[in-house]
């Protein structure tokens, strides 16, 4: 590696690697190594002094991971990015980089349950307080912000799909000198680019749409060099939840088809949401495009939404009759999935009751995959008939 290179100039790293292999491969190599050796004492000491920048140890810098970070930063409009071993590692490392004991966070209600639980356990032990707000109520958010350190956003929210005017919330945070961060896993950068709306940091569970094939658990955060640098300086190396080279390679593959996958999830999701809404046995469909006009900055919808059955529907029979839709957590892959709300409400072992997330007992969360609208609708119709026959 050359003297004085941009510390995170992946192009120079990967070109050097490709030249060494001379394969002219169209896909970047998986640099599956834990460490990188030095040619001499002088080179090693220069790297330790920071006079040359080159990979030393994969927890700090790995070319394949860096390639994914740079691609995602470009997609979101960030200056820099950091890849993590999971979405939760991205969330915990980001949040912990901006708070100290005695601080306060403002978070949108109904955020991803494990983020909520992180706030209610570790952060609580660190004497960090969290004020929950309805992100649609900008007055309430403005009232909660003075004195806070961080505004934690997710839009639309995990189960009930409350969608917010992200740009307006980011502007409120700026006015009060509060760092804003958003979980953008649902929309992906194809449908929402929060950095361009004024949000400071954007994070993802890359296990969802970025990966898109249900074969990787990963996370990423992107934003300005300065703010990402704060996370890199402490939480990233010391908490150590680093993305692995192989997972980064899978994510690079995922990013290449993200735009066409998102359009397919959107079209099928919207059509199925509309058909469900027209059924007598369905009370409500929680899909941002059906509830209202989409808020400014949200330019499309993904395949994840929920609906509430009317009383009397046998949800167990519905779930067991489905063939194409599988019962399973997570989402964002090629496959269609359901999670019944009443099952989530059984999760008694977890700290903080699931009731906090706005989950209705008669609700079902759907992820609409890529199997095709008509085949999926036929599966749903058959299962709904089975559940309402009695």
Enumerate binding residues for ligand PLP (CB under 6 A): 86-88, 112, 158, 183, 185, 205, 207, 217, 219, 330
Name the residue whose CB lies closest to ligand PLP: 87
- Mark whether 74 is an active-site residue: no
Q: Could you tell me the smallest distance in angstroms from the CB atom of residue 288 to ligand PLP? A: 14
Q: Which of 66, 109, 208, 362 is catalytic?
A: 208
Identify the CA nearest to 144 among candidates 181, 199, 105, 170. Answer: 105
Tell me whether residue 53 or residue 182 sits nearer to ligand PLP (CB atom).
182
List residues bridging with 327 in a β-sheet: 338
Query: Structure tokens of 298?
Result: 């949200």
- Mark whether 193 is an active-site residue: no
Contacts of range 115-124, beta carbons closer than 8 Å, 24 or more positions apart: 115/88, 115/91, 115/152, 115/154, 115/183, 116/352, 116/356, 116/357, 117/350, 117/351, 117/352, 118/88, 118/91, 118/92, 119/95, 119/152, 120/351, 120/352, 121/351, 122/92, 123/95, 123/99
Contact 61, 55 (CB under 8 A): yes
Contact 248, 85 (CB under 8 A): no
- Mark whether 165 is an active-site residue: no
Q: Which of 9, 59, 174, 314 is catalytic?
A: 59
- Mark whether 293 is an active-site residue: no
Q: Could you tell me the smallest distance in angstroms from the CB atom of residue 183 to ligand PLP? A: 5
Query: Structure tokens of 22?
Result: 């001379």
Tell me whether residue 335 or residue 387 sits nearer to ligand PLP (CB atom).
335
Tell me whether residue 106 or residue 111 sits nearer to ligand PLP (CB atom).
111
Tell me whether residue 85 or residue 281 sits nearer to ligand PLP (CB atom).
85
Tell me whether residue 63 or residue 113 sits nearer to ligand PLP (CB atom).
113
Q: Could you tell me the smallest distance in angstroms from the CB atom of residue 375 to ligand PLP? A: 25
Q: Could you tell me the smallest distance in angstroms from the CB atom of residue 207 to ligand PLP? A: 4
* Cα separation of the two ends of the chain: 71
Q: Which of 132, 136, 152, 183 is catalytic?
A: 183
Spatial distance between the Cα atoms of 193 and 259, rounded to a whole number of angstroms: 13
Q: Could you tell me the smallest distance in angstroms from the CB atom of residue 107 to ligand PLP? A: 13
| Catalytic positions | 59, 112, 183, 208
């Amino acid at each position: 590696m050359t003297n004085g290179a941009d510390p995170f100039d992946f192009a120079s790293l990967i070109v050097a690697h490709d030249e060494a292999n001379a394969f002219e491969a169209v896909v970047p190599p998986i640099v599956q190594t834990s460490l990188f050796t030095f040619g001499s004492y002088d080179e090693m000491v220069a790297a330790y002094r920071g006079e040359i920048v080159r990979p030393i140890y994969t927890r700090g810098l790995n070319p394949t991971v860096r390639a994914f970070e740079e691609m995602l930063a470009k997609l979101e409009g960030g200056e820099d990015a950091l890849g993590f071993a999971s979405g939760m590692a991205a969330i915990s490392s980001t949040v912990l980089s901006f708070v100290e004991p005695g601080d306060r966070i403002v978070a949108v209600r109904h955020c991803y349950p494990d983020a909520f639980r992180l706030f209610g356990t570790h952060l609580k032990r660190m004497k960090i307080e969290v004020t929950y707000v309805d992100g649609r109520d900008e007055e309430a958010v403005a009232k909660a912000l003075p004195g806070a350190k961080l505004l934690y956003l997710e839009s639309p929210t995990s189960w009930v799909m409350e969608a917010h005017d992200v740009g307006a919330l980011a502007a409120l945070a700026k006015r009060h000198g509060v760092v804003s961060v958003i979980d953008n896993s649902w929309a992906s950068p194809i449908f929402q680019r929060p950095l361009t709306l004024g949000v400071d940091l954007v994070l993802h569970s890359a296990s969802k749409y970025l990966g898109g094939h249900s074969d990787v658990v990963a996370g990423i955060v992107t934003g300005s060099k300065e703010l990402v640098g704060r996370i890199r300086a402490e939480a990233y190396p010391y908490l150590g939840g680093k993305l692995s080279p192989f997972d980064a390679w899978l994510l690079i593959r995922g990013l290449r088809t993200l735009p066409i996958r998102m359009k397919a999830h959107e079209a099928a999701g919207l059509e199925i949401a509309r058909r469900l809404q027209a059924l007598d046995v369905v009370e409500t469909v929680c899909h941002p495009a059906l509830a209202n006009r989409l808020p400014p900055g949200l330019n499309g919808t993904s395949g994840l939404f929920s609906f509430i059955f009317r009383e009397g529907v046998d949800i167990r029979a519905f779930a067991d009759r489905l063939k194409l839709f599988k019962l399973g957590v997570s989402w964002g892959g090629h496959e269609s999935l359901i999670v019944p709300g009443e099952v989530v409400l059984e999760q008694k072992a977890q700290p903080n009751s699931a009731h906090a997330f706005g989950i209705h007992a008669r609700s079902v969360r759907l992820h609409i995959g890529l199997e095709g609208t008509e085949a999926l609708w036929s599966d749903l119709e058959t299962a709904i008939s089975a559940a309402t026959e009695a």
